[in-house]
Amino acid sequence: MIFKIIHTSMEGAEKVDKWEMYMEIQQLIKQGFSKSKVAEKLGVSRSTVYRNLQKSPSEMAEWVESIKTREKKLDPYKALILSWLREHPDMSAAQVQDWLQERYESLEIGESTVRAYVRELRTEYRIEKETLPRNYEAIPDQPMGEQMQVDFGHTKQRTPDNQEVKLSFIAFVLSNSRYKYKKWLDRPFTTQDVMEAHEDAFRWYGGIPREIVYDQDNLIVVSENGGDLILTKEFQHYKETRRLNLRVCRKADPESKGKIENVVGFIKHNFARHRVFHNIDSWNEQGWQWLNRTGNYKIHNTTKKRPVEVFSLEKQHLRPVAEKLTIKNNYENSITRSVHKDNTIRYLSNRYSLPLGTFHKYDTVGIKETEDKQLFIYITDTGELIAKHTIPEGKGQLVKDRSHSRDRTKGIHSFMDTVAKRFEEVDSAYDYLNIIRQNYPRYIRDQLQIISKQTKENNGAILSAALKECVKRNLYSATDFSDIVSYIKRQRQADDTITDNARAVSSINKISGWLMDTEAQKRTVNAYTEILEGESN
């Protein structure tokens, strides 16, 4: 009830404002002020003055009244936006816009429109925005193709089963155009990973800038040595091979790398915040889509230009990438282990599992123990990481990754059949899964696993409703399906609560059902009018 009152009062206030503006314009014009002076006095545009003067009082009244019932462009998404704001009060309007465009690719909406709509919802439903202070520095722009800044970031994300995982990312930005690139890992970065990320970034940009600016990260720099950089052995070799010109910022010197620090914050607050993590492959894919949709397309607050448009000019100033450089894994002090027929290796008196089929492909694998007690197992020839385990305390244990028990030779068709048959509408479900397979060919098994989990945890009615809603709204991904299932469950819980309250009232009043259904005799309004006027005995 209070929401309705507040909403009504807001509409009333808006109507009063419109009327006051109209009357003030009319009065000033009658007093002899020119239209330009009227606009200046009231702080509005001349076009606003012209529009008000063109309307008669009756036309103005009709227009103001129409404001009360006029549907806004984002009204069809109101419930969804409200659910986001209530669950995440610190959510920005920019992130709301990005999430809408992620779910509804055909939606064309301006940033100012979203900002105004979110502001109205916060006022109407009393959702205060939680803010975190951020510091910005004014940094002069570099010439095109001159500089790229690089930095690392970390976030903690929630999984579908509400577990917390720590993710790491490396971010790149061209200083002139602000064109960005990023890559995520679900483990700490190694020097090997950093070099591979650079190669990915150079392919993304289609060239190499004249200077690359870093923070003092121990994956790259051993010591600054009074201005003379001493790089790690691996990165020194990479620098010489790619002929890179590096510069490392001094400690406590944010002015030198302010652009990349803003980018790291942008990635954390606009892309990662409140996003549910499923697996690292789909996470990176969502990240690249975000770069194209928002990160590099949204108008930059400082330059007032879209990075993607400026980059079309800046990329012509980059040094071409002469050839593809293959980065080989270079684990210091790495050793090999024989693969046993049960697809395990032995290390420090414990056994560690490998993916099924490893024994038939490889006789030996390479291993590397990290400082945080992680064991990395990789193919010695290619450096491909095939398993990662936490080294336990004690001896004689079998350390097994549950995914290694999965038969990866099992056909996708069979998996899709299994998942589809858990729905009441098997044919519709199979058509839905086929479209998901077309959208995510590389990650279809992961997509099926997410949907399979939902089919095991929910009844047929919820699954049918979710499937129908996803098809209706063109939501063809496992994460969207999971979100819709969660939404339907919340709605049904709310309906059940209302039903239970109604039953409780009925029980307390102890009124028979037939009395509740009985309708009293009704007279027309004319009958009461005749009585009051004395025309009836």
The half-sphere exposure of 519 on its side-chain side, counting CA atoms within 13 A, is 3
Predicted confidence at residue 66, as pLDDT, reads: 65
Residue pair 2/124 in contact by the 8 Å Cβ criterion? no
- SS3 string, 158-189, reads ECCCCCEEEEEEEEEEECCCCCEEEEEECCCC
Predicted confidence at residue 410, as pLDDT, reads: 54
Predicted confidence at residue 111, as pLDDT, reads: 85
Token pair 């899964």 is found at 433
Predicted confidence at residue 129, as pLDDT, reads: 83
| Among 252, 277, 195, residue whose Cα is nearest residue 446 | 277
In the beta sheet, which residues pair with residue 346?
351
In the beta sheet, which residues pair with residue 164?
158
Q: Where in 241-373 does DSSP place strands (E)?
A: 246-248, 335-338, 344-347, 350-353, 364-369
DSSP for 58-109 reads HHHHHHHHHHHHPPPTTGGGHHHHHHHHHH-TT--HHHHHHHHHHH-TT---
- Strands ordered across the beta sheet of 164-174: 180-185, 164-174, 147-158, 211-214, 246-248
DSSP code of 295? I
What does each of the 537 residues of the chain score in pLDDT, given as a tens digit?
Answer: 333 333 444 444 444 467 778 888 888 888 888 888 888 888 888 888 888 888 888 887 777 666 655 678 898 998 999 999 988 888 988 899 999 989 898 888 888 889 888 998 998 888 888 765 555 455 567 799 999 999 999 999 999 999 999 999 999 999 999 999 999 999 888 888 889 999 999 999 999 999 999 876 667 766 554 444 557 777 888 888 888 998 887 554 555 567 888 899 999 999 999 999 999 989 999 999 999 999 999 998 888 899 999 999 999 999 998 766 766 554 444 577 889 988 999 988 899 999 888 888 888 888 888 777 888 888 876 667 788 999 998 888 999 987 776 554 457 888 888 899 999 999 999 999 999 988 888 778 888 999 999 999 999 999 999 999 999 999 999 989 999 999 898 888 776 665 555 555 444 444 444 344 445 555 555 665 566 555 544
Predicted confidence at residue 484, as pLDDT, reads: 93
Residue pair 212/246 in contact by the 8 Å Cβ criterion? yes
Predicted confidence at residue 154, as pLDDT, reads: 94
Predicted confidence at residue 258, as pLDDT, reads: 75
pTM: 0.47
DSSP code of 292? I
DSSP code of 530? H
